[in-house]
């Protein structure tokens, strides 16, 4: 548990700060809209589980967005860590 503490603290801190993030579109979205190719984007291959960091029924809730962000961060970290462990076993190297 001791090794996971900094990761959990960081995830909680980022989740607590996420409601203060800008709601304006990022640079890539802004350029796509300005140049007119945003409307021509292809349909996604698979639907996003929680698109735009929103829970169904709570689209405008900032705390819900923070929880979705924390959950996504922990999920991606867990998948990456598990993948690294599996690859390390196959290759003969070792992770702690």
Residue 55 pairs with which residues in a beta bridge? 58
**Residue 44 within a domain:** yes
**Residue 34 within a domain:** yes
Tens digit of pLDDT per residue, the chain (96 long)?
Answer: 688 788 888 878 877 787 777 777 678 888 888 888 888 888 889 888 878 777 888 777 777 877 887 888 888 889 999 999 898 887 655 555
How far lies 45's CA from each of 39, 48, 73, 87, in Å? 17, 9, 22, 27
The number of domains in the chain is 1
**Residue 96 within a domain:** no
Q: Could you give the CA distance from residue 15 to residue 64 in angstroms, rounded to a whole number?
A: 10
Q: What is the pTM of this model?
A: 0.58
Q: Could you give the CA distance from residue 58 to residue 60 in angstroms, rounded to a whole number?
A: 6
Tell me the pLDDT tens digit for each residue of 9-19: 887 887 778 77
Domain range for 39 is 5-91
């Amino acid at each position: 548990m001791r090794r996971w503490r900094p990761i959990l603290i960081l995830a909680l801190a980022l989740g607590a700060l996420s409601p203060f993030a800008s709601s304006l579109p990022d640079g890539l979205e802004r350029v796509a809209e300005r140049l007119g190719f945003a409307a021509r984007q292809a349909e996604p291959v698979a639907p996003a589980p929680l698109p735009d960091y929103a829970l169904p029924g709570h689209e405008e809730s900032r705390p819900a967005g923070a929880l979705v962000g924390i959950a996504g961060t922990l999920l991606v970290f867990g998948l990456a860590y598990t993948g690294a462990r599996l690859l390390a076993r196959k290759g003969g190297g070792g992770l702690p």
